[in-house]
Amino acid sequence: MSRGSEFLVVANRLPVDRIVGADGEPAWRRSPGGLVSAIAPVMRRRHGTWIGWTGAPGEELEPFEEDGMALVPIAQSAEEVELYYEGFSNATLWPLYHDVVAPPVYDRAMWDAYVRVNERFAEAAAKVAGKDAIVWVQDYQLQLVPAMLRKLRPDLRIGFFLHIPFPPLELFWQLPWRRQILEGLLGADLVGFQLPGAAANFVRLCRRLLEARYVRHDVYWDDRIVRARAFPISVDVSELNDLIEREDVLERVQEIRSDLGDATILLGVDRLDYTKGIAQRLQAFGELFGDGDLKPGQAVFVQIATPSRERVEQYQLLREDIEQQVGRINGEYGEIGFPVIHYLHSSYDRAELTALYLAADVMVVTPLRDGMNLVAKEYVACRRDMRGALVLSEFAGAAAELRRGAFQVNPYDIDGLKGTILAALDAEPAEQARRMRSMRRRVIEHDVDRWAREFLSELENPAHPVPVTDPALEG
């Protein structure tokens, strides 16, 4: 075998987006986001390779280099995108793993496509990995890759990280292909989750469904030990530190504030997804006007909703619902020049998001279920001024770490949500600072760099004991 890569990342998407370059020619640019910036330095240091899809159906590209990373594109036909990506990944696994907040679709053609595309990723990784290489597989779209890859290349060390929740046995049991998914994951040496509870769900399922032996969070499978551990993901604190000092960002903060008539600003930033609890927060906010607790012009909600999975039916319905709801609330409670909700269905660059975080008096993060939620951590990382308040759902993974500083809420409880929003609006600067200090300590010490380092060190040095649970995450 020729000398291949000693470090590989396998993810549904490549870490680059297609853009039009200065010369008008198509070009690539590194995708924004913590995962890419956390892994990029390791990739460069170890001459790593990233295997993923470009995002364009039917496109077949040769491997190429970008930003110091070797990239191997995996083709997906339009039909595979529909069945594997929009179908099994986003219409089956996504709702099943998020407490079934929407009904999962169980479709055999979707499953077949999921197997086929996972195989393609595994074969590509087997081909480019050097002897004894480290392979890090990412997320729910590729849960079969660890076992497929181990079969092809038993010499590799394989890690897997799940970015979304891992459901309890009672829900996972619905899945017609539950055994195959578990066996797929057990091909890894280390299976990482956001929270210890998810690792515990996984181990319990291995025991009940596969009758696997286990000791604490170690599963004995196929004469190997598969470790299940929690590694709560975080944000790129140093990138955000640079942004909050930029002159143009600070000017933009003033501009946003004055455009909104110096009203108190509540902010929501989410992909437009039914797991994010957008309707619940808007309803609670609207009712505060009906109750007379808030007046138009006094407080305003800015809801940024990034377009997402627009070809999946549930997402189209959600968009219609939210847009109707915004129209209804503004129609009912707004006044000329004072809408109560500003709804923006668009994507923004990091500088604009940072300006919004700095302008917001209250950040409202109310998912019905969320693996972690980076928006909550980004807000905290940006507020070096110790101002602002975070309203945070108990059902976000981030709630475990930010418990002391956030105004925690059950998003299904609309009255509770109203009371919590009012409490956050009323918090005195001293209380805001006390809460923010506690949250910032956690986020700054546990940034995304540390997340990647801890995962890789656990993968590469299994003898090195890492506590099964982080005391800060205990309930």
Q: Which residue among the candidates 163, 342, 345, 413 is catalytic per the annotation?
A: 163
**Is residue 76 near ligand ADQ by the rule CB under 6 A?**
no
Of 212, 39, 199, the closest CA to residue 134 belongs to 39
Structure tokens at 341: 């909700």
Check if 248 is active-site: no
**What is the distance between the alpha carbons of residues 101 and 98, in angstroms, rounded to a whole number?**
6
CB of 276 to ligand ADQ, least distance (A): 8
Output b/e per residue, 271-291; b: 16+ Cβ within 10 A: bbbbbbbbbbbbebbbbbbee
Q: Are 133 and 157 in contact (CB under 8 A)?
A: yes
Residues 193-222 that bind ligand ADQ (CB under 6 A): none
Task: Tell me if 78 sits within 8 A of 86, measured CB to CB.
Answer: no
Tokens of 398: 């981030």
The correct pick among 370, 447, 449, 458 for binding ligand ADQ (CB under 6 A) is: 370
Closest separation between CB of residue 364 and ligand ADQ, Å?
A: 13
CA-wise closest residue to 372 among 318, 302, 307, 448: 448
Spatial contact of 138 and 9, defined as CB atoms under 8 Å apart = yes
DSSP string for residues in 141-187 = GGTTHHHHHHHH-TTSEEEEE--S----HHHHTT-TTHHHHHHHHTT
271 contributes a contact to ligand ADQ by CB under 6 A: yes
Is 375 a residue that touches ligand ADQ (CB under 6 A)? yes
Tokens of 88: 């099994």
Among 183, 378, 401, 458, binds ligand ADQ (CB under 6 A): 378
Which of 189, 236, 361, 370 is flagged as catalytic?
370
Nearer to ligand ADQ, 271 or 434 (CB): 271
DSSP H helices, 30-107, are: 34-45, 78-80, 94-97
Applying CB under 6 A, which of residues 277, 371, 405, 411 lies at the interface with ligand ADQ?
A: 371
- Vertex 266, ends 260 and 271: CA angle to 5°? 105
* Residue 30 CB, nearest approach to ligand ADQ (Å): 14
Site string for ligand ADQ, 160-189 (x = CB under 6 A): ---xx-------------------------
Map residues 83-122 to x or -, x wherever contact with ligand ADQ holds by CB under 6 A: ----------------------------------------
Query: Is 342 in the active site?
Result: no
Sort strands 299-306 and 362-365 into parallel, antiparallel or unpaired: unpaired
Size of the site for ligand ADQ (CB under 6 A): 19
The answer to whether 211 and 203 are in contact (CB under 8 A) is: no
Q: Which of 205, 269, 318, 360 binds ligand ADQ (CB under 6 A)?
A: 269
Binding segment (CB under 6 A) for ligand ADQ, from list 42-50, 150-158, 372-380, 457-465: 372-380
For ligand ADQ, the binding residues (CB under 6 A) are 33, 163-164, 233, 269, 271, 304, 306, 347-348, 353, 370-375, 378, 397
Q: Residues with catalytic annotation?
A: 163, 370
